[in-house]
Amino acid sequence: MDDTDTIMQEYYGKNIVTALIGITCDTAEIENVSRALVEYNNVEDVFLTTGDYDIIVKVKFPEYSNLKDFILNEISKMKGITKTETMLVVNTYKERGIKFE
């Protein structure tokens, strides 16, 4: 485990790690990438979007190392993906219509 992994694991502890991943892909591969992403158990939502990203994915993992593995060993190897940006959720105020105190 490198320093970043250690810091992230200490920060999240036993809390679920939630992230939003913005994906840019070749236009011809958007449907294939989307279909592949929905098959992962840790992928909660897959959205086809306009703007800076073609697809935005919401994922949840039991720990940071699982998220890192997903990005490095799954997403990065998908045909057609040209760029990703991962945004870690720091706090959730409302999710799926439920407010959190």
pLDDT, tens digit, 9 for 90 and up, residues 48-76: 999 999 999 999 999 998 999 999 999 99
pLDDT computed for residue 74 by the predictor? 96
**Radius of gyration, CA atoms only, the chain:** 14
What integer pLDDT is reported at residue 11 of this predicted model? 64
Q: Which residue has the tokens 């999710």?
A: 95
Q: Between β-strands 94-95 and 43-48, what pairing exists: parallel, antiparallel or unpaired? A: unpaired
Looking at residue 101, its pLDDT comes to 78
Give domain limits for the chain: 3-88
Strands (E), 3-80: 17-25, 43-48, 55-61
Mean pLDDT by 10 residues, the chain (101 residues): 68 82 97 97 97 97 93 95 95 90 78
Contact 90, 25 (CB under 8 A): no
CATH 3.30.70.920 fits domain 3-88: yes
- pLDDT number for residue 1: 61
Q: In a 3-state reduction of DSSP, which class is residue 36?
A: helix
Structure tokens at 37: 């992403």
Q: What is the C-alpha separation between 24 and 80, in angstroms, rounded?
A: 9
